Structure 1
Amino acid sequence: MYTPPESTPASPLTVAAIVVAGGAGSRLGGVNKPLLTTPDGVTLLNHALRDLQTVFADQLADIAVVGPTSLNQEVASWPIVLRVQENPPLSGPAAAVVAGTQALAARNATKQTPPDVVVLLAADFVAPRAGLEFLKQALTEHSTAELLVPRDEDGHPQWLLSAVSWPYLAERVAEGAEQSAGQSLRWLLDAPSATFVKMTAHAQNGTRDVDSPADAQRYEIRLPSTQNSTHD
């Protein structure tokens, strides 16, 4: 009797991440938002890095943190993290993703092992783990998607909790790098290509961000009375 060969399980996708951490924090008086701390004493940036590592574990190869030099000390203990700056500074999320992609490409050129997919993540989410877990599950169900973007309950796309295939991201960055300053991620990534997935209520907890003094109060994040952050 013929016995069909056993199927070989697909290998897990290899993952890199770009953490966008270069906002001006203007509604918070110019604070360096990634360095704000939650009640457990951990900065928002370190929450992002820890949750990426926890959720993607051995799949995670590299992380590019795009933000000012004032973040250097915060990322110094993370060997897989590159800290880079968008050009010019404070020129928006598209420019940040361009800078992060270029940094990852330079590192991948030496290793010759590009990732399968790049996760894009905001650095000012209070507790991104729930959102990242949702994104990881969505990737298993849409593994061939060029661009995977969660939508919240109001239908708004969460561009900074999305996943992009490496070939597609590299192509888009090559085409749009010179015009990326001041542009949105929708412009850079080309929305018609996206696969949108509706988020669960639990996953939306991972997109709670600190954008105003009311947000800081709600999540028990103390704002400094003065801020001497630099964005260069």
Structure 2
Amino acid sequence: MSVGAVLLAGGAGSRLGGVDKAALRIDGGTLLHRALAALGDLPVVVVGPPRAGARTVQETPPRSGPAAAVVAGLAALPAVDEVLLLAVDLPRLPDALPRLLAAPSGPDGVVAIDEGGRTQWLLGRYRAGALHDAAAALGDPRDRPLRALLRGLDLLPLRLPPGLELDVDTVADARRAGAVLPGEETR
């Protein structure tokens, strides 16, 4: 089975004071570069503003939401059997990814569930055909939530060890992940 990845890296970071999450540093590397390194030789499309060292596309119009970003990434990804939908703000992605790739799949894929039972749509492995069908059924993806695109899929839930599904949305999340915030580099 061939696998590719759509990595969403275009959010405004509003709950993090407008910080570019992809540029946050953990253990000397940015979240973007850590994600790309974890994905290795898989075909990857980064959705967001242009990024050095990555194949990027942008949803139309820019910042029109995660469903639009996924649809733009899917359109730019080479033909694959399965698609990893991932957020750039997953600091534990290098640890979570092998488990996600090895997990059994439901008819349409597998998606991480956090400790509170919430679906983590951007930590999932999806059957490419199911994603393309869902995108066609959704119609215009602008300003639509990700669950509007993905909720109809038949996905197997994946419980990861606590903390592997952590995403960085707030300063508290960044600190919990060990991220270096802008202006803290010299402290």
TM surpasses 0.5: yes
CA contact (8 A) 1:151 1:199 kept: yes
* CA deviation string 1:18-72 (max 9, x = no partner): 001011001121111101111x21000111111122xxx6xx3x11100112x2x
- Whether 2:99 is the aligned partner of 1:176: answer no
**What stretches of structure 1 of length at least 5 have no aligned partner?**
1-12, 109-113, 226-232
2:110 and 2:158 in contact (8 A); partners too = no
User: What SS is found at the alignment partner of 1:98?
Assistant: helix
Structure 1 segments of 4+ aligned residues over 6 angstroms from their partners = none
> How far off is 1:207 after superposition?
1.8
Give the secondary structure class of the aligned counterpart of 1:206: coil
Q: Which has the larger radius of gyration?
A: 1
Equivalences for residues 92-171 of structure 1 within 5 A: 92-104=65-77, 108=78, 114-138=79-103, 141-142=104-105, 145-171=107-133
- Deviations 1:162-203, CA, capped at 9 Å, x for gaps: 1111111122223335x21111221112x24222324132xx
Question: For the residues of structure 2 that align with 1:172 and 1:200, how far apart are their CA atoms?
Answer: 26
In the alignment, residue 24 of structure 1 is paired with which amino acid?
A
Are residue 193 (structure 1) and residue 124 (structure 2) matched? Answer: no
Give the residue type in structure 2 aligned to 1:210. Answer: V
Shift of the 153–217 alpha-carbon distance from structure 1 to 2, 3 Å rule, reads closer
Question: Which residue is 1:229 aligned to?
Answer: none
Give the AA of the match of 1:45: L
What TM-score, normalized by structure 2, do the two folds share?
Answer: 0.89
Corresponding residue number in structure 2 for 1:9: none
Q: Number of aligned pairs?
A: 184
Match of 2:168 in 1: 210
Q: CA deviation at 1:137?
A: 1.6
Aligned-pair RMSD on alpha carbons? 1.9
Q: Contact 1:18/1:100 (CA < 8 Å) preserved in 2?
A: yes
Deviation digits for residues 116-148 of structure 1 (CA, Å, limit 9, x no counterpart): 10000000111212221221121xx32x62132
Q: Verify the 8 A CA contact 1:128 1:205 in the aligned structure 2.
A: no
Q: Does 1:43 align with 2:30?
A: yes
Q: Structure 2: state its 5+ residue gaps.
A: none
Q: CA deviation at 1:89?
A: 1.3
**Which structure features the higher share of helix residues?**
1
Contact 2:6 2:46 in 1 (8 A): yes
Aligned to 1:66: 47
Question: Shift of residue 153 of structure 1?
Answer: 2.5
The percentage of aligned residue pairs carrying the same residue is 42
Give the distance between the partners of 1:156 and 1:186, measured in 2 at CA. 11
Whole-angstrom distance in 2 between the partners of 1:195 and 1:172: 13
